[in-house]
Amino acid sequence: MRDLGAGLRYLGQGQRWVLTHGRWFGFGLLPALVTLVLYAAALTGLAFWADDIAAWATPFADDWGSPWQTVLRTVFAVLLWIAVLMLAVLSFAAVSLLVGELFYDKLSEKVEEDAGGLPEGVVELSLWRELWLGLTDSLYVLWRTLRWTVPLFLLGFVPVVGQTVIPVLGFCVTGFFLTLELASVAMQRRGIPVRERLAMLRTRRGLALGFGVPLALLFLVPLVAVFLMPGAVAGAALLVRDLTGTDGRGPDSRAPGQPQPQPQPHLQTQPYPQAHPYPQAQAGPPPSPAPGGSVPPHQR
């Protein structure tokens, strides 16, 4: 529960940051607005052709009588539109980040500077390299999301459960991967690969869900998604600082009672081998006394 509250708090802090930095907020609206126009056209087309797609996908129901054929194809069309909408919520952030790569990266840096400073060892990449990594990482996240979305889509046909539990699980999956997508800006700055980002968020699922699920619900409202996108990037930068223990002064400076981050493989260092406590014991056999009980000079 503490991590859930922390995730929600970072979401609010990110929105508050951009509202108090109007220039950053204004520029952040442009990439999201371009993405919104593209997505609105795609979802409108899907809604228009949903019945035809449902009929094409369920040929076995051509001979069914009324009302079962209509019920099946209506449920299929509704679930298909919901599944695509969930993917659109996630990919909206990914496409907006690609369109506004330069801006969102600078915005995230500014948030971290205000929060205590950039982490040590910042990875500097060319624009084309950043765009390529952003594209490949987004495709990986989308692939992992589909591995959850497709089974949940099929389970949506189960009576009662498909209309109650499955939508809740769908929002949790979308919120988790939405957090992963938004956190990639600050994670990439630290040179953390996408698979390791996923592993890190798994250790703090509550943090990811507390940040991503409310945002996913708000992203369902088209214009709201545009206005929330800059603050979502800012809040994700703060979340990454919590997740990695970088607050500009070290992990021990966080507030009392706030959970300490779990050590991650990329942050761990190998201990140096301990020296033998008695090195002289490894230098060879003790000097043998010379005749008369004295030690020869060359062995003293």
190 within a domain of the structure (yes/no): yes
282 within a domain of the structure (yes/no): no
Within a 13 Å sphere around the CA of 220, how many CA atoms are in the beta-carbon half?
A: 15
Higher pLDDT, 140 or 245: 140
291 within a domain of the structure (yes/no): no
156 within a domain of the structure (yes/no): yes
Q: Does the pLDDT of residue 260 top 70, yes or no?
A: no
Mean pLDDT across 213-225 = 88
220: tokens are: 């369902």
| Confidence tier at 248 by pLDDT (50, 70, 90) | very low
Q: What is the pLDDT of residue 250?
A: 35
47 within a domain of the structure (yes/no): yes
SS3 call for 5: helix
Domain of 201 in residue numbering reads as: 2-251
56 within a domain of the structure (yes/no): yes
Q: What is the pLDDT of residue 46?
A: 79
20 within a domain of the structure (yes/no): yes
Into how many domains does the chain fold? Answer: 1
Q: Does the pLDDT of residue 202 top 90, yes or no?
A: yes
* CA-wise closest residue to 181 among 232, 227, 132: 232
